[in-house]
C-alpha cells in the first residue's frame, strides 16, 4: 500500500492501489487512464471520484473524505477571506469583464466573515442576505455566495451552507425608459468627463453592453465596423456592428477602466438624471430604434440578441449578417442623436 504522491501516482503500473495515508482511498490504473476511487461503507461499495490528472491528488483526497464521511479538521479549511481571493482570481479568468465586475463587487461589499470557511453556517448567510434592503440586490448577493460555496464543495467543505435558501424576490424586468431630454443631459455631462464619459456616449450610440467597451482594443476596428471578440460577448460568438462618424469620433477617447460605480455617481450629479442603470441605455437604444422605424431584426442584430423576433429554426438557417442594413440603421440613429444633443 503506497503513500500517494504525484510521483508515485504517475509511475504506478496497471492495477488497483490504495493510499497508506487515507485508507479506502485509491486509484485504478488502466491502459488508457487512471481513475480515483473510494470504498464506502461495510459493503465496500466502489465510488468513482474522477480521473487523474484532471482531478489532482489533493482534490481527490478531499473528495474521498467527503464520500467516506470523514469530518474536516478545523485546520484543514482556510479562512473565508483568503479563499474568497482565490475564488475571485479563478473567476476573473473565466467570466466576461462585466460579469466578473458584478461578482467581485458583491462578494467584497457584503461578505466579510473572518472565520474558517467550514465554520460558516446557514444562519450566517441568512443574516447577511436579510440585511440587504433592496430585494433585487439581495437576490444577486445570494446567487453569488451560492456560486462561491458550490465552488468550495468538495474542495474545502462537504456541503454548502446555502442549501435551502430561497431568493428574497422574484426577478422583475426593469421598465425605466430614458427620454430624449434625459439622454441629452447625460451626453453633455459625459462631455465633461474623461474616458468614462466616452464609454457612456459609445453605449448611447451603439446600444452595446458595457462589458464590450471597458476593455476595448483599437485592433477590433475594421473599417466602419467593430468586431467584438467572442470572449467579451454574452453569447460566446464574435459580434460585428457598423459605426458612423459620431461613434468613430468617440473611439479614440476610450480607455480600459475600473471603479465604474463611483463614476456613475459622478455622472448622475453632473447630468441631474438619476434612477436609471447603465443597462437601461440599451432599452433607450432599442425603443428609439423602433420609434425611428428601424426593422426589429436589424436592431436585434445590432444588440446581439440571440432570441427575438425570429424563430429558432430561422436563426439556424438565416445566417445573413445584415451589415448593410446596420449601416443604414446607424446613419438614422446618429442623425437622431445629433438632433437632440447639439
End-to-end CA gap in the chain: 80
pLDDT value of position 250? 95
Q: Which domain holds residue 220?
A: 180-341
Whether 230 and 100 share a structural domain: no
Cβ neighbours of 216 (radius 10 Å): 21
HSE-CB for 249 with a 13 A CA cutoff: 8
Whether 186 and 335 share a structural domain: yes
**Which residue, of 15, 47, 68, is where some domain finishes?**
68
Cβ neighbours of 248 (radius 10 Å): 14
Q: What is the DSSP string of 45-109?
A: EEEEEEEETTS-HHHHHHHHHHHHTPPPPTTTSPBHHHHHHHHHHHHHHHS-HHHHHHHHHHHHH
Contact 33, 48 (CB under 8 A): no
Whether 126 and 209 share a structural domain: no
Whether 313 and 232 share a structural domain: yes
Contact 256, 210 (CB under 8 A): no
Nearest Cα residue to 96 out of 236, 190, 205: 236
3 state SS for 21-44: CCCCEEEEECCCCEEEEEEECCCC
Whether 10 and 145 share a structural domain: no
Whether 91 and 142 share a structural domain: yes
Whether 218 and 297 share a structural domain: yes
Q: What is the CATH number of the domain that holds 35?
A: 3.30.160.390
Whether 87 and 53 share a structural domain: no
In which residue are the cell numbers 441631474 written? 272
Q: Give me the tens of pLDDT residue by residue for the chain, a chain 342 residues long.
A: 678 888 888 889 999 998 877 778 899 999 889 999 999 877 788 899 999 988 888 888 888 888 887 654 444 578 999 899 999 998 988 888 878 989 999 999 999 999 999 999 999 999 999 999 888 889 999 999 999 999 998 778 888 999 888 887 665 667 899 999 999 999 999 999 989 999 999 999 999 998 888 888 999 999 999 999 988 887 678 999 999 999 999 999 998 776 677 899 999 999 999 999 999 999 999 999 999 999 999 999 999 886 565 566 666 666 678 999 999 999 999 999 999 998
Nearest Cα residue to 237 out of 93, 96, 92: 96
Using alpha carbons only, give the angle 211, 214, 219 rounded to the nearest 5 degrees: 105
Whether 90 and 61 share a structural domain: no
CA–CA separation, 66 vs 68, rounded Å? 5
Cβ neighbours of 3 (radius 10 Å): 9
**Which residue, of 23, 39, 68, is where some domain finishes?**
68
Give the chain's domain count.
3
Beta-sheet strand order (sheet of 25-29): 15-18, 25-29, 34-40, 45-52
Nearest Cα residue to 233 out of 245, 244, 241: 241
Whether 16 and 138 share a structural domain: no
In a domain, 1, yes or no: no
Whether 320 and 209 share a structural domain: yes
pLDDT value of position 74? 41
Q: What is the CATH number of the domain that holds 192?
A: 1.10.443.10
Whether 19 and 97 share a structural domain: no
Q: What is the DSSP string of 120-134?
A: --HHHHHHHHHT--S
**Which residue, of 101, 136, 152, is where some domain finishes?**
152
pLDDT value of position 170? 62
Cell matching residue 251 = 473611439
Amino acid at each position: 500500500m503506497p503513500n500517494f504522491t504525484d510521483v508515485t501516482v504517475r509511475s504506478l503500473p496497471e492495477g488497483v492501489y490504495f493510499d497508506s495515508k487515507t485508507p479506502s482511498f485509491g486509484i485504478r490504473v488502466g491502459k488508457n487512464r487512471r481513475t480515483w476511487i473510494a470504498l464506502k461503507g461495510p459493503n465496500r461499495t466502489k465510488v468513482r471520484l474522477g480521473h487523474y490528472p484532471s482531478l489532482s491528488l489533493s482534490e481527490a483526497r478531499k473528495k474521498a473524505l467527503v464520500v467516506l464521511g470523514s469530518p474536516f479538521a478545523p485546520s484543514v479549511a482556510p479562512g473565508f477571506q483568503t479563499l474568497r481571493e482565490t475564488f475571485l482570481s479563478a473567476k476573473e479568468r473565466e467570466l466576461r469583464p462585466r460579469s466578473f465586475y458584478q461578482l467581485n463587487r458583491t462578494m467584497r461589499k457584503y461578505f466579510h466573515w473572518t472565520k474558517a470557511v467550514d465554520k460558516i453556517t446557514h444562519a450566517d448567510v441568512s443574516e447577511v442576505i436579510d440585511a440587504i434592503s433592496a430585494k433585487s440586490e439581495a437576490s444577486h448577493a445570494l446567487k453569488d455566495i451560492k456560486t462561491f460555496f458550490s465552488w468550495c464543495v468538495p474542495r474545502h467543505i462537504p456541503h454548502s451552507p446555502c442549501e435551502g435558501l430561497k431568493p428574497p424576490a422574484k426577478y422583475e424586468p426593469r421598465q425605466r425608459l430614458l427620454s430624449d431630454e434625459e439622454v441629452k443631459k447625460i451626453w453633455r455631462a459625459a462631455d465633461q468627463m474623461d474616458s468614462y464619459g466616452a464609454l457612456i456616449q459609445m453605449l448611447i450610440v451603439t446600444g452595446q453592453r458595457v462589458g464590450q467597451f471597458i476593455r476595448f482594443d483599437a485592433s477590433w476596428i475594421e473599417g466602419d465596423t467593430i468586431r467584438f471578440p467572442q470572449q467579451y460577448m454574452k453569447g460566446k460568438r464574435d459580434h460585428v456592428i457598423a459605426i458612423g462618424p459620431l461613434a468613430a469620433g468617440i473611439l479614440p477617447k476610450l480607455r480600459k477602466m475600473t471603479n465604474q460605480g463611483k463614476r456613475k455617481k459622478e455622472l448622475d450629479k453632473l447630468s441631474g438624471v438619476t434612477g436609471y442603470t447603465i443597462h437601461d441605455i440599451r432599452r433607450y437604444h432599442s425603443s428609439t430604434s423602433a420609434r425611428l422605424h428601424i426593422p426589429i431584426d436589424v436592431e436585434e442584430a445590432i444588440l446581439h440578441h440571440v432570441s427575438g423576433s425570429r424563430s429558432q429554426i430561422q436563426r439556424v438557417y438565416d445566417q445573413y449578417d445584415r451589415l448593410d442594413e446596420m449601416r443604414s440603421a446607424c446613419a438614422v440613429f446618429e442623425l437622431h442623436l445629433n438632433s437632440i444633443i447639439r
